[in-house]
Amino acid sequence: MVRRIRRRQVLGGIAGAGVAGLAGCTGGDGGGSGRTIKMGLLMGVTGGLSNLGPPIRNAAQLVPQQVNDADTDFEVDVQFEDTATAASQGVSGGNALVNAGYPMICGALSSEVSLQVANQVAIPNGITMCSPASTAPDFTTLEDNDYFFRTPPTDALQGQVLARIASERQGHSSAATLYLNNAYGNGLSAGFVDSFENEFGGTVTASVSYSEGQNSYSSQLSEALSDDPDVLLVVGYPGSGVTIFRDYYNDYSADRDILVSDGLQSGDLPANVGRSMDNVTGTAPLGEGPGVEFFTEQYQQVYDADPSGKPFTRQSYDAAAVLVLANAAAGENAGAAVRDNMRTVAQGDGQEVTPGNLVEGIEMAANGDAVNYQGVSGPVAFDEAGDLAAATYEYFEFTDSGVETVETITP
């Protein structure tokens, strides 16, 4: 049978333990007149992304809830697996979804986790993945047989934006990077270094990697700052970011400009560090599509929280919405059929579908009508690599009340 997930059930389930499943049972297929669409959610709500992951998962969950609460013959059957922001657990969760018969996965979040799940689970089993937060450049050249898509832009673009800010906005000629040693950190640091040196004529004095979960990062900070660069770029997640910034402020000046990536866009970071962090700014993908108002209202109604300023929540709703639309157009719970309809429902000359009329869009797609999804984060047009064709970034700063946007930047 199908488990309908109602609004109150969602609130109760998400308020509970992070690894609690929003699991559905197996449902049957049908034609355009209505059937059960099966979608797995694979996201890190514990571990290094315990601060950022839950709102992203909540945003994706709005899509099946929206369908299941509507007056329609379609239902979305969901099973959630927590990756704990670890590749091994992500692979285990991905296999659990495959074994339960889910043809498509919304997730994962961490680029390293998504990369391993794609290579070890999705690609060999013919499962379509759409990540709302994996931004590493590695996915652009991944030999994925077209099974991997993502709704945020590649970090190759974010590295350029950060380099432009460091050089043109802040006026710096030297920089160092301190980055998490995984696909996300390596790719973003490399993109920044390449752009800062080759496009803006700057000098990168050091690029230092680190691992998550260490008690201190003083030695890595000392190595990165040994030549006294004008600006320091820190790439990582809040779990290790708190320790990094505590160590920094204990030993170094709060006057130095520090840039951070989207993974550290947490309004709770200054309070957890115990400093105002006035010298820290950063970038994150920012979309502004026709569904922003609807999405914000729905999120606030269900979770009694404002999604504004929470990274990748908009992209998460869009990833889930496109998967469900593609599945509806495919007419079956089959990974290859979903894959072949991902671009069909998100670009072209079809009837515009937004979050506000998503259920109607699902019915149209199932009936063979051409649809063009315009999401919360903007147009979701995938190029041949499964990347977004265009992107906009938010340049943000930390304040006493959280995170505020300084300006928006289009590469």
| Residues 135 and 197 grouped into a single domain | no
Which pLDDT value is given to residue 8? Answer: 31
Structural domain that includes position 79? 7-153+288-379
Does a structural domain hold residue 55?
Answer: yes
Joined tokens for residue 329: 């157009």
Which pLDDT value is given to residue 338? Answer: 98
| Residues 197 and 333 grouped into a single domain | no
Instruction: Name the percent of the chain lying above pLDDT 70.
Output: 92
| Residues 178 and 124 grouped into a single domain | no
Q: Is pLDDT above 50 for 189?
A: yes
- For 366-400, the DSSP string reads HTT--EEEEETTEE--B-TTS-BS---EEEEEEET
Does a structural domain hold residue 282?
Answer: no
Does a structural domain hold residue 283?
Answer: no
Better pLDDT: 4 or 111: 111
| Residues 148 and 13 grouped into a single domain | yes
Joined tokens for residue 332: 């079956």
Backbone φ and ψ for 45, nearest 5 degrees, come out as -110, 0
Q: What is the mean pLDDT of residues 264-273?
A: 92
Sequence letter at residue 208: V
| Residues 104 and 235 grouped into a single domain | no
CATH number of 316's domain: 3.40.50.2300
Instruction: Name the one residue in this structure whose structure tokens are 């709704």.
Output: 151
Joined tokens for residue 350: 């079809």
Question: What's the CA gap between 98 and 127, in Å, rounded?
Answer: 8
Q: Please tell me whether residue 181 adopts helix, strand or coil conformation.
A: coil
Positive or negative torsion for Cα 367, 372, 375, 377:
positive
Question: What's the CA gap between 140 and 191, in Å, rounded?
Answer: 14
Q: What is the mean pLDDT of the chain?
A: 90
Q: What is the mean pLDDT of residues 206-220?
A: 96
Q: Is pLDDT above 50 for 229?
A: yes
| Residues 69 and 97 grouped into a single domain | yes
What burial class does residue 8 get, using C-beta atoms within 10 Å of its C-beta: 0-12 exposed, 13-18 middle, 19+ buried?
exposed
Q: What is the mean pLDDT of residues 236-251?
A: 95
Cα–Cα separations (whole angstroms), residue 382 to 74, 206, 284, 379, 404: 26, 35, 19, 9, 29
pLDDT-based confidence at residue 24 (cuts at 50, 70, 90): very low
Does a structural domain hold residue 138?
Answer: yes
Question: What's the CA gap between 266 and 336, in Å, rounded?
Answer: 36
* Pairing of the two strands 402-409 and 393-399: antiparallel
Does a structural domain hold residue 92?
Answer: yes
Question: What's the CA gap between 310 and 396, in Å, rounded?
Answer: 12
- For 54-108, the DSSP string reads HHHHHHHHHHHHHHHTSSSS-EEEEEEEE-TT-HHHHHHHHHHHHHTT--EEEE-
Q: Would you give the end-to-end CA distance of the chain in angstroms?
A: 48
Cα–Cα separations (whole angstroms), residue 178 to 124, 181, 223, 243, 283: 34, 9, 9, 13, 16
* Pairing of the two strands 203-210 and 174-180: parallel
Does a structural domain hold residue 273?
Answer: no
Instruction: Name the one residue in this structure whose structure tokens are 């149209």.
Output: 364
| Residues 319 and 367 grouped into a single domain | yes
Q: Per residue in 390-410, pLDDT tens?
A: 788 989 999 887 889 899 888
Which pLDDT value is given to residue 9? Answer: 38
Q: What is the mean pLDDT of residues 272-300?
A: 92
Q: Please tell me whether residue 128 adopts helix, strand or coil conformation.
A: strand
| Residues 224 and 118 grouped into a single domain | no
Q: Is pLDDT above 60 for 191?
A: yes
| Residues 128 and 32 grouped into a single domain | yes
Cα–Cα separations (whole angstroms), residue 51 to 29, 230, 235, 266, 339: 37, 30, 16, 7, 31
Question: What's the CA gap between 176 and 183, in Å, rounded?
Answer: 19
Does a structural domain hold residue 37?
Answer: yes
pLDDT-based confidence at residue 32 (cuts at 50, 70, 90): low
pTM above 0.85, yes or no: no
| Residues 300 and 218 grouped into a single domain | no
Which pLDDT value is given to residue 287? Answer: 76
Q: Is pLDDT above 90 for 28?
A: no
Better pLDDT: 210 or 11: 210
pLDDT-based confidence at residue 11 (cuts at 50, 70, 90): very low
Number of structural domains, the chain? 2
| Residues 177 and 255 grouped into a single domain | yes
| Residues 143 and 30 grouped into a single domain | yes
Question: What's the CA gap between 90 and 96, in Å, rounded?
Answer: 10
Cα–Cα separations (whole angstroms), residue 241 to 49, 179, 269, 288: 11, 10, 8, 28
Q: Per residue in 330-368, pLDDT tens?
A: 999 999 999 999 999 998 889 999 999 999 999 999 999
Q: Per residue in 95-153, pLDDT tens?
A: 999 999 999 999 999 999 999 999 999 999 999 999 999 999 999 999 999 999 999 99
Does a structural domain hold residue 214?
Answer: yes
Which pLDDT value is given to residue 389? Answer: 80
Which pLDDT value is given to residue 290? Answer: 87
pLDDT-based confidence at residue 281 (cuts at 50, 70, 90): very high
